[in-house]
Amino acid sequence: MSAPSNTTWSPLFKEAVSTDFRDFHECLDQDKRIAIYDVAASKVHARMLAQAGVLTSQDNSAIQTGLDTIAEEIRTGIFEWKKELEDVHMNVESRLTALIGEAGKRLHTARSRNDQVATDIRLYARAELDALSLELKTLILAFIDLAEGHADTIMPGFTHLQVAQPVTFGHHMMAYAEMFFRDLERVSQARERLNVSPLGAAALAGTSYPIDPDFSARELGFSRAFRNSLDAVSDRDYVVDICAAGSVVMGHLSRLAEEIILWCTPMVDFIEIGDQFCTGSSIMPQKRNPDLAELVRGKAARVIGNLTTSAALMKAQPLAFNKDQQESKPPLTDTLENVRGAVAVTAQMLPTIRVKAENMRAAAEQGYSTATDLADYLVRAGLPFRDAHHAVAAIVGAARDQGYATLAEIPLATMQAFAPVVAADVAEVLTTEGSVACRNHRGGTAPEQVRRAAAELRALLG
């Protein structure tokens, strides 16, 4: 097979393009994602040119009709992609010219593939971020539903993965709701920064034609047009922004996934997730593996890698556009697709969680989890906190030596040997229910506060 000609560019090129270079160079697999946005931006560009008197109304009408046909071909999957045309822009322009003739060749007046691709990517990313925002809201609501349903369900709270203090499962779920609410803000901020139109910046210096970039920006739903043509075509910081936001989202999902995996193991046995989100084993018939959580945890590493790629890609490029920037598409599209997928499927999984409340409560009673409550009791009885802390540590040590599993089991006389101010009413603060209930302040784990926080966040989501 002979190498393709180089007449796509101009008669300046005398040698045919190397077939291997063509294959290395083309990016159609990535560009197919932005094709519909390329058509949309081209329609606006043609209308702007007609309004400026650069295109005739007849040429504009033909271009609009031809681009509508191409959009339908792309949507229905019958558009014929040609590798030798290298990218989405040349494929669309070639098809347009085939459909409407000479008018199709006039579409590229006053623009470059540099501002064209920058516009297309921003339009694609904006739509994906809008969809991700909706999916994040669904995920947050799923956490809120779980929190409200388990505002009274006691579980151990951990530090260093050691039992620390009793909390409620609802409080634990609301911690994730807060994380993803901040992620929703991150996504919104990334969208706000990218929502600037580069169309009209041309190759790097703008154009000599009497264009109206503000018109194009308004028609495409951007908040404004570019202020500097060099910056408009040469930076991809919005890609780094998106990959950064995606990395944080996936980091939060990965933390949840790790806990789900831990809670599902029979050695912990706090929860069970629905069959539709588990797999079995080809050899061990008893296995029920939380593969969704494991995949989310694995994909988090992939998305974090995309952030590294996108940031490193831009660090040494001189102004303005360089072909390196073609490599900004894979980390962007991979991040958006994987983050959206992970968020959506996790939101579907959460309502299938079956909480094993008795197992959680029993675990919360281990490790002398109400020791801080005992120390607070001693402080209220008049001891300085540091002395109270020391006394309770001694009481816990005695409990271990004497084989008491919880502080509530320790005889009153044993506690009084280390802290004489202890009285019979100490029993009220040594239960897990009492520990949780007394933390009845904003942000605390008391059931009343969990319900308040859930209602507040639900209202913020609208």
Write out the CATH class of domain 19-109.
Answer: mainly alpha
Would you say 169 and 150 are in contact if contact means Cβ atoms under 8 Å apart? Answer: yes
Per-residue pLDDT tens over the stretch 97-137: 999 999 999 999 999 999 999 999 999 999 999 999 999 99
Q: Residue 134: what residue type?
A: L
Element at 154 (helix H, strand E):
strand 154-159
Nearest-10 crossing angle of helices 88-100, 57-76: 120
Residues paired with residue 225 on neighbouring β-strands, in sequence order? 197
Residue 458 exposed, middle or buried by CB count within 10 Å (0-12, 13-18, 19+): middle
- For residue 94, indicate whether it is catalytic: no
Same topology for domains 19-109 and 367-461, yes or no? Answer: no
Give dist(CA 168, CA 130) in Å, integer. 33
Angle made by CA atoms 343, 182, 260, in degrees to the nearest 5: 45
| Closest among 357, 408, 396, 428 to 155, alpha carbons compared | 357
Residue 348 exposed, middle or buried by CB count within 10 Å (0-12, 13-18, 19+): middle
Spell out the residues 6+ positions from residue 318 whose beta carbon is closer than 8 angstroms to its own.
none
Domain chopping of the chain, boundaries = 19-109, 114-362, 367-461
Would you say 233 and 203 are in contact if contact means Cβ atoms under 8 Å apart? Answer: yes
pLDDT at residue number 2 = 34
Write down the CATH superfamily of domain 114-362.
Answer: Fumarase/aspartase (Central domain) (1.20.200.10)
Residue 23 has pLDDT above 80, yes or no: no
- For residue 208, indicate whether it is catalytic: no
Per-residue pLDDT tens over the stretch 60-79: 999 999 999 999 999 999 99
Would you say 49 and 55 are in contact if contact means Cβ atoms under 8 Å apart? Answer: yes
Alpha carbon 240 to chain centroid, angstroms: 13
Write down the CATH superfamily of domain 367-461.
Answer: Fumarase/aspartase (C-terminal domain) (1.10.40.30)
Residue 3's pLDDT band (cuts 50, 70, 90): very low
Helix, strand, coil shares, percent, the chain, to 5: 65, 5, 30
Sign of CA dihedral 159, 164, 170, 174: negative
Task: Please indicate, yes or no, whether the overall pTM of this predicted structure exceeds 0.85.
Answer: yes
Q: DSSP per residue over 109-127, as a string?
A: TT--HHHHHHHHHHHHHHH
Per-residue pLDDT tens over the stretch 180-220: 999 999 999 999 999 999 999 999 999 999 999 999 999 99
Indicate the range of 10-19, 165-174, 231-240, 388-397 predicted with least confidence: 10-19
Give dist(CA 263, CA 250) in Å, integer. 19
Catalytic pick among 2, 160, 208, 282: 160
Catalytic pick among 18, 57, 281, 441: 281
Residue 21's pLDDT band (cuts 50, 70, 90): low
The owner of tokens 């094993």 is: 356
